[in-house]
Structure 1
């Protein structure tokens, strides 16, 4: 006899880039609000450091959700809401985007029949692709995915493309983020108005470039953090000095662009 306190919600699990997410059609979820938040956090298994009671993988890169529906916008095929769910923290946020998960929205939309065929671009003229225009609700910007497809019009996952951090190979999905410039602060590509700025990190002045394209990014020289730039992710995770310096860097960059008044907050 089924448990009347439980009900089924259809979903799909996709990897995009170096992240994974649970994908939902928006119509199967409660409307935005506390009930939707509770359902999504339960699906991931949060708050719990191990996320044992859900589909999360106990890391930020696997604690993500995508909500997709057909779009009524003339410049988009689908609307896509990205949700970052806390792992041990009881948190869910919808006001940003994830470039990795964005790469999986096109394949989901194609295989779920949410979009009509529009020819896409490809690095290999022998590979047929389909363009999917994606409106991200968090940044309120449109981005495009050029997705390899089979002769039957389904997503072609097989290929020879390799990316750092992911074993094996797959098909290349080309992403176009040109329309996402200024997504966070609406001040263009360089929100400070400068190509480079000076920030003091660990008592030393370093040159950085802050860009606002899809997400806010801070670029700095590896040597200013006592690394070469060739370290593995495991090496950097174990490097407490690097972690402390990068946290200070990000905090002070946030102050510079006006996101906070206290870099340690």
Structure 2
């Protein structure tokens, strides 16, 4: 055989999709692993025509699963963001949407046994250290995918998957406010640099001359905005202790604006060189924390927010995402205790994906 076969599941998790692989079926060396993932996805072509990617950042994500090395967790979830066109792989971030599919995938792979009508899968996000309890609907030892839950940005309905995130603060930088400030001014733009589930640089849309209600396509066409945003992101990353991030998707960038459709606030999330068509699960947690925390750029912008645990409806380009955040404020201290979301996932395909032996000959 002139190609190396690798078993995989192909799944939609939340509003993203990609291959779910066993970590043990892949190279351990990061450089060799990156080459294999680039070949699987087909990075280097705008349509990923020579791989199974979908030509967009939300469809060039990879989940790698293994039995957990953590006493609390059942499964270790190692994430990789593969670029669409540049042949790059970023192992720094995690992805909350792809994480939605980890519970079902772990059951499908036999890493976790299904129990009763609901099976809890305890997940450790290797990239950030976050711990997530995933409640997956099961029946007769198998995952149930059909159901009545609907999430904006995904057609139809499916079985709900309830997620509870813990240990989400400081996974990448070690602290909630990596610069030491709740607001920094960079290139005359006020930003809050925060690390909750995902390190982010957050600003008010109005400071860029935007309403914050623009569509993803409208924002993507505004190259002047992207150039200015990237300059701010690059400088913020240095202040956050993340160094040169010109080839890294983190920190992500987010914009806040007053709600337009009855939600808590309007948000726009960037990946970072393109607008997210909806909203990342990780990004929703950081943006939500920014809205709840006194002294940030989001302070006073949220509408209809109650005490902890606060339920937030974040308006994104294709609808809303609901996130529930348990938090505590004592004097000047703000703590995020846990975050809850309900999303859906679906198994799309299963089998073998092939890479040329010139890239990897297998174990």
Question: TM-score scaled by structure 2?
Answer: 0.62
Residue 225 (structure 1) aligns with: 208
How far apart in 2 are the matches of 1:19 and 1:105?
12
Alignment partners' CA distance in 2, 1:64 and 1:90: 13
Match of 1:258 in 2: 241
Q: Secondary structure at the match of 1:149?
A: strand
| Greater share of strand | 2
**Deviation sequence 1:16-74 (CA, Å, 0-9, x none):** 22211111112222333444333222111122222111101112221111110111320
| Partner SS state of residue 172, structure 2 | coil
> Aligned in 2, Cα 1:244/1:172: closer, same or farther, shift over 3 Å?
farther
Equivalent runs, 1:84-103 vs 2, <5 Å: 84-103=81-100
The offset of 1:154, in angstroms, is 2.9
1:67 to 64, 68, 80: 64
Moved more, 55-64 or 246-255: 246-255
Q: Distance in 2 between matches of 1:35 and 1:191?
A: 32
**How many residues matched?**
248
Q: 1:104 to 1:35 in 2, by over 3 A?
A: same
Taking structure 1 as reference, are residues 264 and 151 closer, same or farther at Cα in structure 2, changes over 3 Å only? closer
SS for the counterpart of 1:95 is coil
What is the CA–CA distance in structure 2 between the aligned matches of 1:249 and 1:28, rounded to whole Å? 40
- Whether the 8 Å contact between 1:133 and 1:142 is mirrored in structure 2 is no
Indicate conservation of the 8 Å contact 1:70/1:78, yes or no.
yes
1:81 aligned residue = 78
How far apart in 2 are the matches of 1:264 and 1:22? Answer: 23
2:152 aligned with 1:152: no
Q: Relative contact order: is structure 1 or structure 2 higher (C-alpha 8 Å, sep ≥ 6)?
A: 2
**Distance verdict in 2 for CA 1:207–1:17, change over 3 Å:** same
Cα-to-partner distance string for 1:77-111 (whole Å, 9 max, x where unaligned)? 11111111222212223232112111111111122
* Correspondent of 1:180 among 168, 175, 180: 168
Deviation at 1:147, TM superposition (A): 2.7
Among 100, 105, 110, the alignment partner of 2:107 is 110
Distance 1:25 1:153 in 2: 20
| Residue 115 of structure 1: how far off its partner (Å) | 1.7
1:227-250: CA deviation from partner (whole Å, max 9, x where unpaired): 222222112112223322322231
Distance 1:227 1:153 in 2: 50
1:52 corresponds to 2:35: no
Structure 2: state its 5+ residue gaps: 249-363
Deviation digits for residues 196-225 of structure 1 (CA, Å, limit 9, x no counterpart): 23222xxxx333222112210122212112
Residue 190 (1) aligns with residue 173 (2): no
CA contact (8 A) 2:179 2:240 kept: yes
Determine helix, strand or coil for the equivalent of 2:52: coil
Matched, 1:170 2:158: yes
Change (3 A) 1:115 1:150: closer
Q: Does 1:211 align with 2:194?
A: yes
Question: Which ranges of 4 or more aligned residues in structure 1 deviate by more than 6 Å?
Answer: 261-265
State the distance in 1 between where 2:38 and 2:83 align: 8
Partner residue in 2 for 1:235: 218
Structure 2 CA distance for partners of 1:153 and 1:195, relative to 1, 3 Å: farther
